[in-house]
């Protein structure tokens, strides 16, 4: 299980340090649960140097290498600052910040070439779902961003399914809706690669995942964790979601033993 926090454009630098201190003071994440938080980019190097308490994520990256690109930062720069994971293709960047499928595919390439792990976001709008094209939409995003990659980078790819209508709205996909889409995504990955790759790839759910619905979502067989926005801003609610992931791991272990 992977529990990943996406702070978006929230928190001052001091608040980010306070969060790190609070998390450092907590007991380690449960066995089998990996934790990542993606703070705003200007803080990344300093947070890494101060001893960030989990994997350090970035929320964005340049689609190209170094050059005359005012305001951009490359994947190599992020790697040099101590970043492990980069979120690419978030709907808030696809919608309004120019991240078309082609740009997203270039960003994925840059992240992987820098040796980092990519958290590739996909998801449909409410209109897509209401008109029944949600599977087509997500498949198209995956085809352009992920499914053509060489097999040997797939251990550095995480997919986050985030229905746009559930992000920051308080509306969550039901566990049935999440499971159905996650199973489809795993099936497409199996077809494009193989069964081992499909079963190993972490598939995160994102969109109003909170302490009170995390257990139900994480109990779905094809949900391997969450990409958490609002509920990742406070150490206690984020920790409650990490603990829910721990319960899901423990239940899976019990299931195998039983
Ligand atoms: P939310 O955001 O948890 O606040 O809905 C999720 C995301 O955008 O990654």
Q: Is 216 a catalytic residue?
A: no
Q: How far is the CA of 120 from the centre of ligand 1 (A)?
A: 14
- Beta strand ranges found along the chain (DSSP E): 2-6, 34-38, 55-58, 85-88, 117-122, 157-161, 203-206, 225-228
Q: How confident is the model over 201-212, as pLDDT tens digits?
A: 999 999 999 999
Q: Average pLDDT of the chain? A: 97
Whether the per-residue pLDDT at 35 is higher than 70: the answer is yes
Q: Is 162 a catalytic residue?
A: yes
**Choice between 211 and 96, residue whose per-residue pLDDT is larger:** 211
What is residue 196's predicted lDDT score, i.e. its pLDDT? 98
End-to-end alpha carbon distance in the chain: 20
What is residue 170's predicted lDDT score, i.e. its pLDDT? 84
The active-site residue out of 84, 124, 134, 162 is: 162
What is residue 7's predicted lDDT score, i.e. its pLDDT? 98
Q: How far is the CA of 11 from the centre of ligand 1 (A)?
A: 15
Whether the per-residue pLDDT at 86 is higher than 70: the answer is yes
Q: Kindly list the protein residues whose Cβ atom lies closer than 6 A to any atom of ligand 1.
A: 6, 162, 167-168, 206-209, 227-231
Q: What gap in Å lies between CA 234 and CA 242, rounded to an integer? A: 12
The dihedral of CA 183, 184, 189, 191: what is its sign?
A: positive
What is residue 183's predicted lDDT score, i.e. its pLDDT? 98
Token readout for 199 is 């079963």
Contact 61, 29 (CB under 8 A): no
Name the pLDDT band for 168 (thresholds 50, 70, 90): confident
Q: Which atom of ligand 1 is nearest to the CA of 209?
A: 3
CA angle 126, 35, 180 (to 5 degrees): 35
Give the closest residue (by CA) to ligand 1 atom 6: 229
Q: Which atom of ligand 1 is nearest to the CA of 210?
A: 3
Q: How far is the CA of 8 from the centre of ligand 1 (A)?
A: 9
Q: What gap in Å lies between CA 209 and CA 178, rounded to an integer? A: 11
What is residue 172's predicted lDDT score, i.e. its pLDDT? 86
Q: What gap in Å lies between CA 7 and CA 229, rounded to an integer? A: 6
User: Mutual orientation of helices 13-24 and 235-257 as an angle, nearest 10°?
Assistant: 40
Q: How far is the CA of 133 from the centre of ligand 1 (A)?
A: 22
Which of 208, 213, 226, 240 maximizes ligand 1 atoms within 8 Å of its Cβ, making it the mutation to test the pocket? 208
Token readout for 91 is 């709907």
Q: Which atom of ligand 1 is nearest to the CA of 228?
A: 3
Question: In DSSP terms, which residues pair with 86 in a beta bridge?
Answer: 58, 118
How far is it between the farthest Cα atoms of the chain? 59
What is residue 258's predicted lDDT score, i.e. its pLDDT? 62
Name the pLDDT band for 256 (thresholds 50, 70, 90): confident
Q: What gap in Å lies between CA 83 and CA 58, rounded to an integer? A: 7
What is residue 246's predicted lDDT score, i.e. its pLDDT? 98
Whether the per-residue pLDDT at 245 is higher than 90: the answer is yes
Report how far apart, in Å, the C-alpha atoms of 56 and of each of 16, 22, 40, 95, 136 are.
12, 16, 11, 25, 32
What is residue 215's predicted lDDT score, i.e. its pLDDT? 98
Whether the per-residue pLDDT at 60 is higher than 70: the answer is yes
Name the pLDDT band for 144 (thresholds 50, 70, 90): very high
What is residue 188's predicted lDDT score, i.e. its pLDDT? 98
Whether the per-residue pLDDT at 257 is higher than 80: the answer is no
DSSP structural state of residue 230: G
The active-site residue out of 84, 90, 134, 182 is: 90
Per the document, the length of the chain is 258
Q: Which atom of ligand 1 is nearest to the CA of 232?
A: 3
Q: How far is the CA of 231 from the centre of ligand 1 (A)?
A: 8
Q: Work out the average pLDDT over 156-169.
A: 95
């Amino acid at each position: 299980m992977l529990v990943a926090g996406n702070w978006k454009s929230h928190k001052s630098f001091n608040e980010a340090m306070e969060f790190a201190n609070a998390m450092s003071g907590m007991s380690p994440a449960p066995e089998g649960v990996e934790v990542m938080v993606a703070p705003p980019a200007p803080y990344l190097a300093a947070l890494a140097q101060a001893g960030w308490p989990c994997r350090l994520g970035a929320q964005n990256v340049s689609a190209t290498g170094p050059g005359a690109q005012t305001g951009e930062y490359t994947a190599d720069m992020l790697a040099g600052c101590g970043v492990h994971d980069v979120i690419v293709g978030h709907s808030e960047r696809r919608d309004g910040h120019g991240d078309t499928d082609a740009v997203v595919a270039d960003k994925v390439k840059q992240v992987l070439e820098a040796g980092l792990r990519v958290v590739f976001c996909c998801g449909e709008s409410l209109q897509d779902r209401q008109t029944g094209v949600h599977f087509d939409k997500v498949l198209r995003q995956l085809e352009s961003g992920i499914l053509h990659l060489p097999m040997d980078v797939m251990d550095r790819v995480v997919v986050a399914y985030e229905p746009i209508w559930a992000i920051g709205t308080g509306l969550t996909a039901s566990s049935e809706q999440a499971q159905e889409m996650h199973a489809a995504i795993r099936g497409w990955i199996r077809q494009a690669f193989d069964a081992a790759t499909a079963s190993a790839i972490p598939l995160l759910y994102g969109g109003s995942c909170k302490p009170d619905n995390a257990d139900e979502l994480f109990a779905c067989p094809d949900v391997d964790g969450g990409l958490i926005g609002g509920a990742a801003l406070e150490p206690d609610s984020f920790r409650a979601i990490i603990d829910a992931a721990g319960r899901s791991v423990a239940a899976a272990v019990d299931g195998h033993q039983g």
